[in-house]
Chains A and B, each alone.
Chain A
């Protein structure tokens, strides 16, 4: 059952991205180009998503179990550090260069765009590089905390 829900959640998420126009890098770059002719659409996508998501997380915060009876796995990390800010800055540079972030790139790949496939492969390599670096680091300084993920 959890697998069906995960599939449906991914599907609905992807449909939302398509409806919102967020799978088109030109539209993302139009939002990021504040000094040019600015397309504010992305801000409204975020507002719509956060309005609904805000209600959902407010409900989730009052529970300890999901509807399927598994424990809620919400990110517990609270530290604001160089990893968080530095990582976000690197991500933002890549986002600004291509106009893709992870979700829309996967959806655009599903739509058959070869270029988004190239982006996704490079993204997986970047994620793999993170794994290798972190694996070496935790081996060298044993007991270092795991990366928290949001």
Chain B
């Protein structure tokens, strides 16, 4: 293992992480809910009365974040190397997987670990391990 010092951004990572933590804190202390994004999105697919608007409001906030960020600083660019077929397969797996797991990086990874939930620890270790193995296979076994 060699650390890529040119890509490693420790300060912005910690500051961004703290900001994410503040959003999680706001949501649980004021609204009494866990900021788990796959659950918030997935819950709209079996809509119940009075349970849709807050989900849309949260998602609208996420969606508009780049526009708000751009009023203060230039927007950072994203590099999406995956081809369209890979994106479709990946998106489908993320959709099915997060719903069966009952959470994703936010719900299990951030909120669950913050709550010291053993269930979320197992989920986080599982999706991290699967991510490590997948990238290893894609980059070092199949790729050159």
Contacts and interface: CB of A to CB of B under 8 A. Distances in A.
Given A126-B95, A131-B46, A91 B61 contact: no
Interface string B88-114: 111111111111111111111111111
A118 B87 contact: yes
Given A94-B94, A97-B89, A103-B62, A53 B3 contact: no
A127 B42 contact: yes
Contact of B32 (A73, A79, A112): A73
B130 A88 contact: yes
A50 B76 CA distance: 24
Interface string A3-42: 1111111111111111111111111011011111111111
Contact of B62 (A14, A49, A55): A14
A144 interface: no
Which of under 10, 10 to 19, 20 to 34, or 35 or more describes the interface residues of B? Answer: 35 or more
Contact of B63 (A21, A33, A107): A107
B33 to A, nearest CB: 5
A27 B106 CA distance: 17
A45 B20 contact: yes
B82 interface: yes
B128 to A, nearest CB: 7
A14 to B, nearest CB: 3
B80 A99 contact: yes
B65 A20 contact: no
A101 B7 CA distance: 20
B49 interface: no
A26 B133 CA distance: 16
A98 B135 contact: no
Given A11-B65, A115-B87, A56 B25 contact: yes
